[in-house]
Structure formats: structure tokens, C-alpha cells
Amino acid sequence: MSQISQSQLLGPDDGPAFSVHRPDGGSPIILLCEHASNSLPKSLKQLGASSETMSSHAAWDPGALQTALKMSEKLDATLVQQRFSRLVYDCNRPPTSATAMPAKSEVHSIPGNANLSAAERFARTSEIYWPFHHAVSDVIARRASEGREVVIVTIHSFTKVYNGAVRDVELGILHDADARLADRMLDATKDSKQFNTQRNAPYGPQDGVTHTLQIHGIATGLENVMIEIRNDLITDDAGQLAMAEYLSKVLEASL
């Protein structure tokens, strides 16, 4: 039998594809952060991308991980994060998606993603995408085996200016076919003037951004929601803390 398990992408210095924080968290909420990092495996040599691209929202969701970590602490919730840039593999996209390993993102070009071979695509899918989603499935399965309730909450950030257009929305509450949790969160925020909060904005399921919700929430019947935070609100510790406190309260009121 042939073996194709040898790593082509991640070396010993890169570490694993994902991290699990607070694995024994008492909350039913499992926080996920697919775009937590702008790190690249050493073997990819920065993908030929500029350092401006690698620090931009094209490479990751700035502030999302720090906000999610603070929510994990406040809620006593398990958090699973991806440890590599979405430009290596965007874990919120299926392997069949053209944007899973994009050669262009908004105004940024990523030369190292142009003309990827089947073997290169396979390596990224098997070493980045599957380990992350298997880790999420493992956490869910363990909870289920303990008879515990599970709620899936993914944490993202978006840029205020995209393709030259300014976005007024500050908080997006996103859902796909299952709107149960999103409906309750929108209800819990409707009287608050704290943040401009909108349903399925600045993206929605029509933009292909609900892959994680589909596979871990909708396919399993678990309640789920995707939270998009405008990244200018979470650039520093104070902003991340204020957002984490707000979202934790809204989530607890919505369970």
C-alpha cells in the first residue's frame, strides 16, 4: 500500500496546524477562529507576497484571535484556532472552492498561490484544512459523548474599507439556513446603541463564508453563528476587551 502521509508543507519548527485553548471549558459554546494567524510555514517562503499583504486583512483577521481568547476566558469556553494564514489555506472554505488558496485577494496578489500543482493543493488541504476541522469535530464529539450541549460560534474580523468603499456596519451576525442563535443575538442587541449591528453583513451565505457553520453546525443540527467584527474596533487590548465583554454578554443572554 502506498503512503502519502509524509509532510510536504509543515516542518518541525512550524508546530501544529491548530491550537485548542481551554479544552475543558464549562460553557456549551465552542469558539472557532479560522483566520487567527498571519504566520506561514517556513517552506512557503512568504508566498512571494509583500509584507504589506502579509500584515493586512488579506492574510488574517486582525484582532479576532485576541478578542476570541478574551471571550474564551469570560465564557469559560473552549477555543479552537488555526495557526496559519488563510493565504496558505482558508479554513472557512471547502477544498473545492477557488478561494481556498487564493492567488488574488482584494487588491493583494499572492504569487506563491498562482498555478499550484495538485500535489501542492493536496499538501495544504491535508496538513492545514483537515487537521483543523478534525480538531473541531473531536471537541464536539467529546462533548456529545458526555451528553453536553454544544453551540458553535465563529469569530472573525473585517476591514472598514474594502475595494475603496467604507462599511458602516460594526458587528455582523451571520447565519446560513439555521438562524436560531443569530435571531436571538439580534434580538438581544436591538435596543443597544453600542455597535451598528446587522444581519448577514458585510457578508452572508451567498458569499460562501458559512462553510464552517455548514459542516459543524447545520450538518450536525447544532446551533451556530458567525460573528464578524469591524477590525478598527479591536486594534488594541482595550478595544478587544470591550468587544469580548459585549459579545460574551450578548451570547450568554442568547443561549
Residue 90 contacts Zn ion per CB under 5 A: no
Task: Tell me the window of 65-73, 149-157, 161-169, 246-254 that interacts with Zn ion (CB under 5 A).
Answer: 149-157
Output the smallest distance, CB 33 to Zn ion, in A.
Answer: 8
Number of residues that bind Zn ion (CB under 5 A): 3
Task: Tell me the window of 32-40, 106-114, 147-155, 165-173 that interacts with Zn ion (CB under 5 A).
Answer: 32-40
182-221 binders of Zn ion (CB under 5 A): none
Q: Distance from CA of residue 106 to its chain's centroid? A: 18
1 vs 244 by CB, closer to Zn ion: 244
* Contact status, residue 229 vs residue 243, Cβ threshold 8 Å: yes
Output the smallest distance, CB 202 to Zn ion, in A.
Answer: 11
122 vs 203 by CB, closer to Zn ion: 203
8-state DSSP, 93: S
* Contact status, residue 154 vs residue 97, Cβ threshold 8 Å: no
120 vs 232 by CB, closer to Zn ion: 232
- The CB-nearest residue to Zn ion is 156
35 vs 230 by CB, closer to Zn ion: 35
* Contact status, residue 150 vs residue 28, Cβ threshold 8 Å: yes
Interface pick for Zn ion out of 10, 27, 28, 35 (rule CB under 5 A): 35
One-letter identity of residue 116: L
Whether the upstream peptide bond of residue 28 has omega within 30° of 0, thus cis, is: no
Residue 127 contacts Zn ion per CB under 5 A: no
C-beta neighbour count of 240 within 10 angstroms? 22
Residue the block writes with cell 467604507: 166
Do the strands 151-158 and 223-230 form a parallel or antiparallel pair, or are they unpaired?
Answer: parallel
113 vs 210 by CB, closer to Zn ion: 210
61 vs 223 by CB, closer to Zn ion: 61
Residue whose C-alpha is closest to residue 88's, from 58, 133, 118:
58
Output the smallest distance, CB 223 to Zn ion, in A.
Answer: 20
**Terminal CA-CA length for the chain:** 49
34 vs 127 by CB, closer to Zn ion: 34
Output the smallest distance, CB 61 to Zn ion, in A.
Answer: 4
For residue 44 the three cell numbers come to 512557503
Residue 156 contacts Zn ion per CB under 5 A: yes
Q: How far apart are CA 189 and CA 10, in angstroms?
A: 42
* Contact status, residue 104 vs residue 53, Cβ threshold 8 Å: no
Q: What would the x/- binding string for Zn ion be over residues 46 to 65, using CB under 5 A?
A: ---------------x----
Listed in order, strand segments (DSSP E) in 42-88 are: 78-82
List residues near Zn ion by CB under 5 A: 35, 61, 156
